[in-house]
Amino acid sequence: MPHSYCDSNLLAVLVSCYEDLKTFLTRKYGCRSLAEEVVQETWLRVRQLSQPIVVDHPRAYLFKMAANLAIDHLRSEKVRKRYISEDSQADEFPKDTPLPDRVLDYKQRLAVLRQAVDELPPRCREVFLLHKFEEYSHAEIAERLDISRNMVEKHIIRGLAHCRNRLRQAMP
């Protein structure tokens, strides 16, 4: 095992600027855990120096060393993620794609809802569709159809109740 030489000057500077270095890396790369890991790795590298080194600006040297280590870490993580995603793509659906059985369930529910809306009386259906699908407010619907806000609310409640009941009957 090679003899390790600890450059006590660099190590002392590292200990004194530990929190500043962690804050710098967290801000630069947006990840506190990465910053902590890189500061630890920097400490290990300084501890394992095999030769004493002369550094004019030890703090700047340590910040540059840590930034380079962070870049190395991010590059290796990017490569690792690329290989993992290439291997798993053939076996998995994309994360935002629902499973086929869920798609079938959604299609069945949609068909039931369409039928339920079609069964509503004409004025109730019109109010319901304006509110739920056109996103009109109660006041806008009342003005547009020349009915009271109270009547708008009654139609919406009736439409919701009818759709809910049809869904319950069709999908126990």
pLDDT in tens, 13-47: 888 999 999 999 988 888 888 889 998 998 888 88
Dihedral sign, Cα of residue 117, residue 118, residue 119, residue 125 = positive
Q: Is 153 exposed, middle or buried (0-12, 13-18, 19+ CB in 10 A)?
A: middle
User: How many CA atoms, within 13 angstroms, populate the side-chain half-sphere of residue 65?
Assistant: 18
C-alpha 140/C-alpha 87 separation (Å) is 53
pLDDT at position 55 is: 84
- Tell me, yes or no, if the pTM score tops 0.85: no
Domain annotation for the chain: domains and CATH numbers: 8-89 (1.10.1740), 100-170 (1.10.10.10)
Residue bearing the bigger pLDDT, 170 or 143: 143
Task: Report the alpha-carbon distance of residue 92 to residue 90 in Å, rounded.
Answer: 6
